[in-house]
A = this chain, B = another copy of it.
Amino acid sequence: MNKAMDIERWGIFELALTGPEVGNPFLDVTLQAEFRQGEQSFQVDGFYDGNGRFLIRFMPNQEGNWEYVTRSNVAELDGRSGQFTCVAPSPDNHGPVQVHNTYHFAYADGTPYFPFGTTCYAWTHQGRELEEQTLATLAQTSFNKLRMCVFPKDYVYNKNEPEHYPFVRDAAGTHDFTQFNPAFFHHLEQRLADLARLGIEADLILFHPYDRWGYATMTPEEDFRYLRYVIARLAAFRHVWWSLANEYDFLLDDKPMALWDQFFQLVQEADPYGRLRSIHNGRIWYDHHKPWVTHVCVQSSAVKKATEWRDTYQKPIINDELEYEGNNPVGTWGCISAHEEVHRFWTMVTRGCYAGHGETYVHPEDILWWSKGGVLHGESEPRIAFLRGILEAAPGGLEPMRHPSSTSWDRISGSQNGAYRLFYFGEYQPSAWAMGLPEDVPFTVDLIDPWNMTITRLPHTFHNAAQIDLPGKPYLAVRIQSAA
């Protein structure tokens, strides 16, 4: 019987057991535990952590007493039981993020969560100095989600070897895909803990095509084992999201569509907590209607289609790659202006959807934020923080404006929640605005300059059907709120 201890709600209870080191414990030893509180029970996989050490991690979702008992094909790991007490969460712990009101997100305690993420694909493979610099940068930004790969990356600007490899590797560089490398995962878990401390959700990318080590071309059996191992280790982290892949479609020659479905189903089955699940496209979109997709993650510059995507999938939409701010000269990707990055963010958000940031300014040592982290060189991040502030001051998730007999909402972007309205005019510069104002409510009007980050409250209160004069300049927004 394990000694009773207090674990906060949505924290991690970790049971460490000692078991056999002979043979290959990754393959040979099965280990699960059942955690129970009243009628509620969870089946949780344990995992081998090397050196005869076996771990079972569990995130309790309710306060009170929990009991557990293990099952294993090894006697010394089987039938181990115990209990612990789950106590109230600490103030910054709002629980895992979940889908809320079909198109939005909230923490488990009901606190709204508006994703404003960025992308550092390979930041955990850069060594301590750069990784700590990345964390210091993140601490100064308002990003609250990070797209990051489990595996290291081989691509333009990404030619350095990682410090750790996810599988055991011999001197000749040959990987043994039957043996995970605990040191790799200890490091990854440290970085996940660092993100948790900063309040940043970890959108963990499980596969990606940019590879020279063989991780992208493992067999399905190896893939399945890898997924189960990652889930056993990391699903208890309340801030982990599963992104099945970055640009999964560039792997379709090796991993056909049906296999991606199987991956999703495995993740759904193996993860006791139902963490968020998505998949990121290159050119070919996955069918996000499939029931195991919790929210739609897309790569697209066509930000005015956001409302259409929302209607199509009836799930939250995150355009995590509306292209990266930068000046990358290779191909034509990764080189939109900061102004355009901000414009696309505003367009997504004022259509009731969400967006993600990335930055690709070329660097003498190939340290581009989008993959390695480091520091930001661009101009969009403070503007994105400004937009996040506006959204967090809104009464809740925004719904796109509709006007069935007009093409207006194809042109400008408008959203609402009750009497609250947030319009974004983009390249349009009407001298006045009357459409879509709330009726029968006196309201205040703020003129917002998304680039210059100013909010100007108009001096008087308006009433329904009023027309608001505008400055006739492009790239402005208007916020309308009940004056009551």
Contact = CB atoms under 8 A, between A and B. Distances in A.
Contact of A329 (B326, B407, B411, B467): B467
Interface stretch (A99-107, A118-126, A210-218, A423-431): A423-431
A411 B327 contact: no
Contacts of A336: 427-429, 474
B329 A433 contact: yes
Nearest to A336: B427
A155 interface: no
Report copies per complex. 2
Given A283-B407, A339-B474, A328 B362 contact: no
A407 B331 CA distance: 8
B332 A428 contact: yes
Interface string A414-434: 000000000000011111111
Contacts of A412: 332
A454 to B, nearest CB: 19
A456 interface: no
A408 interface: yes
A428 B333 CA distance: 8
A335 interface: yes
Interface string A337-360: 101100000000000000000000
B474 A301 contact: no
Contact of A335 (B327, B339, B406, B429): B429
A259 interface: no
A249 to B, nearest CB: 13
Contacts of A256: none
A347 to B, nearest CB: 12
B430 A335 contact: yes
Contacts of A472: 327
Contacts of A88: none
B474 A429 contact: no
Interface string A104-121: 000000000000000000
A432 B329 contact: yes
Contacts of A430: 327-329, 332, 335
A435 interface: yes
Nearest to A412: B332
Contacts of A283: 407
Given A339-B474, A474-B340, A431 B332 contact: no
Interface in A256-305: 283, 301
Nearest to A340: B427
Interface string A358-381: 000010000000000000000000
Contacts of A332: 406-408, 411-412, 428, 430, 435
A431 B301 contact: no
A430 B333 CA distance: 9
Interface string A138-173: 000000000000000000000000000000000000
15 contacts: A327-B431, A329-B432, A329-B467, A331-B435, A332-B406, A332-B407, A332-B435, A333-B411, A335-B431, A336-B429, A337-B427, A337-B428, A337-B473, A339-B474, A362-B431
Given A332-B406, A332-B412, 18 more contacts: A327-B429, A327-B472, A328-B430, A329-B431, A329-B470, A331-B406, A332-B408, A332-B428, A332-B430, A333-B411, A335-B429, A335-B431, A336-B427, A336-B474, A337-B427, A337-B429, A339-B474, A362-B431
4 tightest A-B CB contacts, nearest first: A329-B432, A337-B474, A327-B431, A340-B427
